[in-house]
Amino acid sequence: MRTWFPYPLLSVGLLIIWMLLNQSVAPGTIVMGTILGIALGWVTLKLTPARSHPRRILRTLRFSASVFLDVIRSNIAVALVILRVGRRAPNSGFLTVDIDIEDENALALLACIMTATPGTAWLEYDRGRKSLLFHVLDMENEEVWIRTVKRYEAGLKEMFA
Amino acid sequence: MSHLTDLPTWAAFVVCGLVLLGAAIALIGSVGLLRLPDFYTRLHAPTLATSGGVILICTASMVCFAVLQNRWVFHEVLIVVFVIMTTPVTLMLLGQAALYRDRVEERRGVPLKQKPLREEISEDTEE
């Protein structure tokens, strides 16, 4: 099984992308997408990406819902900060959080989440110390930001445990 | 553009609202790029466009063409996914470049590079 489908999730993902791009569920599209998915899975084998096993679909859905809410909330918050910048300089600053995630893909996902929520910018992750340096636009409450990142960390750990 | 007039009124309102809101958010992001005081705060402004702006405008596009062509349209999701997946790369590159510059220039208020732990040094040099 592993020799034929080295990265099953990737192959399925490529098939879905192919179907979305062609906007059809015709048998021909599915066959072509499957061939592409399997072939590109073999190609990816040569790149030896970090393998991870996401689990617990239900938890994942709940986690992405909470992330989505955070994205909306932080969009509004950052928009307000920018509109008020003439009257009140943003109280921005650097924060460091210890993040104990080994999985490379989980780290990449964390980076995507933190970039997608405006107001936090990922700057540097120190693998040795397992600490993340990030910049916060509006640091009203340091504790809240650190708790938010910790919550993401816990969610990702559950997903990739 | 002419067949856009076929859009029913309710859909036109929804699409209009989404597009205007998305464009407003993208505009606010660009204004922020202009008005925020220093490089690190300016890093945050464009992410408004890449998250809120892209999501809203793509949703508007999905609703518009789904109603017009009377079928489900989902391929705009790919735009959102790829934009969200690729922005961290640029953002980290810019952020790290700024950090590096500020550390070399020994500017104040910039966190210093932490010394690597002793047992990690051998691993780091191998990479």
Closest CA in chain A for residue B40: A135
Closest-CA distance of chain A to residue B1, Å:
22
Which distant-in-sequence residues (6+ apart) come within 8 Å of A60 by Cβ? A54, A159
Closest-CA distance of chain B to residue A82, Å:
5
The two structure tokens encoding residue A146: 């650190």
The residue whose two tokens read 């953002």 is B91
The residue whose two tokens read 């010394």 is B115
Query: Could you give the 3-state DSSP secondary structure of residue A75?
Result: helix
> Is the model's pLDDT at A150 over the cut of 80?
yes
pTM of the model: 0.79
Beta bridge partners of A156: none
Beta strands in A31-119 (DSSP E): 93-98
Give the pLDDT score at B57: 93
> Is the model's pLDDT at A9 over the cut of 90?
no
Chain B CB within 8 Å of residue A139 CB = no
- Give the strands of the sheet with A131-136, arranged side by side: A93-98, A131-136, A120-126
Give the pLDDT score at B27: 92
State pLDDT tens for residues A10-21: 888 888 888 888
* pLDDT string in tens for chain B (127-residue length): 567 777 788 888 899 999 999 999 999 989 888 888 888 888 888 888 888 889 999 999 988 888 888 888 888 888 988 888 888 888 889 888 988 888 888 877 777 776 666 554 445 544 4
Mean pLDDT of all residues in A97-123:
84
Query: Could you give the 3-state DSSP secondary structure of residue B68?
Result: helix
Return the ∠ at Cα B86 (arms to A75 and A42), rounded to 5°. Answer: 140
The Cβ of residue A135 has, within 10 Å, a number of other Cβ atoms equal to: 24
Domain ranges of chain A: 8-47, 57-160
Closest CA to A70 of A151, A154, A143: A151
Chain B CB within 8 Å of residue A20 CB = yes
Q: Give chain B positions within 8 Å (CB) of A72.
A: 52
Beta bridge partners of A96: A133
Phi and psi of A49, rounded to 5°? -75, 160
Q: Is the dihedral of CA A156, A69, A112, A32 positive or negative?
A: positive
- Average predicted confidence (pLDDT) for chain B: 82
End-to-end CA distance of chain B: 55
CB contact (8 A) between residue B52 and residue A133:
no
